[in-house]
Structure 1
Amino acid sequence: MGKCNKALIVKLLCEFLASFFVQFIGCSLTEQTFLGIALPLTGSFAYAMSWGGSVLAATQAFRIVSGAHINPCISIASMILENVKIIDGLLYILMQLIGSALGFGLSFGIFYNSHIKNQKFCCTALNVDPMWKAILLEFYMTGAWVFAMCASWHESNETMLESISLRIGLIVVAATFVGANFTRSCMSPFRSLWPAIAAGAYNHIYIYVAVPPVTAILLAFAWRFLYLQNKPETVKAEGGGGE
């Protein structure tokens, strides 16, 4: 097996572990704290810290190896910016899909309470009307994460790599806090997909599955052609700029 393939396998393993960790921690803390009820202000903050904090930790642990995309939207943006090859990016997304599924499954197995009637374990749900507000919220929240990652790959951040995980994590915390009471702050289609399948709760699932990837596509192209003017990134860190 060649050196390049071994390196790719390690990166894919890191994406699997990062996605597993984020989904497990996020869903576990969500259900321990809220159990599906409406979130008060303090609950919203705890909810934001559970998801954003897990992203911060996973980014700190795995960024130097795989880039810690965690979210398929980030891999989509990375492919558009040519920071990863298309085939590698698709494999990243596959690992995120599997990792998030197993992370959710473990959390469900440990924390699901069959005595709670109609418990929709870790599900996202809309609490805002009309629907366009939810779409706009998901667009902005996903966009914050995507733009933060695009900025982290830029050459201007080459000397500040030690603080990137903190910055990415805090952005996810802030974005999650904003939408917690309205859409449960999805930002990643896999975050909502597995809980919806387990609960058979598919109301508005298309918003959670479609809006984040579309947001990533639109904003990555905007970053590439408006900000970078179609010039390649020059960052050399793993998972960041071109190799």
Structure 2
Amino acid sequence: MSENEPLLTNNPYHGPGEIKELSIELGSFFERTIRPCMGELCGVTLFVFVGTMSVSGASSLLGVALAHGLMIALLVAALGNVSGGHLNPAVTLGIFLTGGIGPLNAILYIISQLIGSLTGAALTRGVLSKGAFENIAGGASSVGTDSTVREALLAEVILTSILILTVLLTAVDISTKTSLAPIAIGFAVIVDILAGASISGASLNPARSLGPAVAMSTYSSSVWDNHWLYWVGPGLGSLLAVVLHR
């Protein structure tokens, strides 16, 4: 059916032969909101699952970094035309502050991302044995043994700002965006993890931290001790990136 072709109906609310404005509005709402939110939910589910599983399966930090970065690159490429491939509340915040998404969709995106986080962590718990799951603390983010909370918070702010700046410059800003955005964003994640994993765990993403923390909390409540910094750090990092971008 062509874009300009009217939809006709015998709907009692519209009368015979009138344009189905309600159906058009519902269709637009599905395309603008429901479909993108489902994309974000599914994307974060896969990202958290692969990310947490890599902590169990990879033999080195490089392996963990590659698993996260390559998965993000894959998902951004796959979901770019569906939802924009945010996959991160900090990314959604940055894009909202630069006018790339409306407030309602931003809220719904973040809710979808957090649900995906819980789902991905649940899948990891279902795949791993109890011992293996506890051995990696569910893949939850944690402050490095030789680092302070202040240092970890600062690391999250700086590393997240690098990621968000990469997103804004390669995928959002019309004057600088490029088809190589998924690769650039994936590399930003890899570099950030290699640089900051020993300090803060290099979460960069509240959705990457929430689900694993919830899943692990059934075995140890200490996973919540510094959990707040994986919200505050990426949030401040996103704000910093927006300021630098402008």
TM range (shorter): 0.7 to 0.9
Residue identity matched to 1:155: I
| Cα shift at 1:33 | 2.9
**Aligned: 1:151 with 2:158:** no
- Partner AA of 1:136 in structure 2: L
Amino acid at match of 1:193: L
Is structure 2 residue 212 aligned with structure 1 residue 195?
Answer: yes
**In 2, are the aligned partners of 1:112 and 1:121 still within 8 Å (CA)?**
no
Report what 1:207 is aligned to.
229
Residue 168 of structure 1 corresponds to 185
Deviation at 1:141, TM superposition (A): 1.1
Give the AA of the match of 1:204.
N
The equivalent of 1:103 in structure 2 is: 120
Which residue number corresponds to residue 39 of structure 1? none
State the match for 2:57 in structure 1.
Answer: 32
Percent identical: 21
Match in the other structure for 2:84: 67
Contact 1:32 1:111 in 2 (8 A): no
| Cα drift, residue 173 of structure 1 | 0.8
Q: Which residue identity lines up with residue 172 of structure 1 in the other structure?
A: V
Find the aligned partners of 2:243 and 2:92 in 1 and give their Cα distance.
13
* Residues 87 and 45 of structure 1: CA distance in aligned 2, closer, same or farther (over 3 Å): same
Compute the displacement of 1:116 (Å).
Answer: 7.3
CA contact (8 A) 1:120 1:199 kept: yes
Q: Using the alignment, how far apart are the partners of 1:178 and 1:218 within structure 2? A: 19
Aligned counterpart, 1:131: 149
The alpha-carbon distance between structure 1 residues 180 and 9, as it changes in their structure 2 partners (threshold 3 A), is same
Q: Using the TM superposition, give the Cα deviation of residue 117 of structure 1 relative to its aligned residue in structure 2, in angstroms.
A: 6.4
Who wins on radius of gyration, i.e. which is larger?
Answer: 2
Residue by residue over 1:131-182, the C-alpha shift from the partner in whole angstroms, topping out at 9 and shown as x without a partner, is 3221121111111111011112112335x32x11111111111111111222
Deviation at 1:119, TM superposition (A): 5.2
Work out the number of aligned pairs and report it.
214
Q: Which ranges in structure 2 are unaligned for 5 or more consecutive residues?
A: 1-22, 218-222
Question: How far has the Cα of 1:21 moved from its partner?
Answer: 1.2
1:118 CA drift (Å): 6.1
Let me know the Cα RMSD of the aligned residues.
1.8
The range that moved more, 88-97 or 210-219, is 210-219
Return the match for 2:68 from 51, 62, 75: 51
TM-score (norm 2): 0.81
Q: Deviations over 1:50-86 (max 9, x none)?
A: 1111111100100122110000001011111111101
Structure 1 unaligned segments of length 5 or more: list them.
Answer: 35-42, 228-243
Aligned to 1:6: 30
Q: Is the 8 A contact 1:80 1:221 kept in 2?
A: no
2:242 counterpart letter in structure 1: A
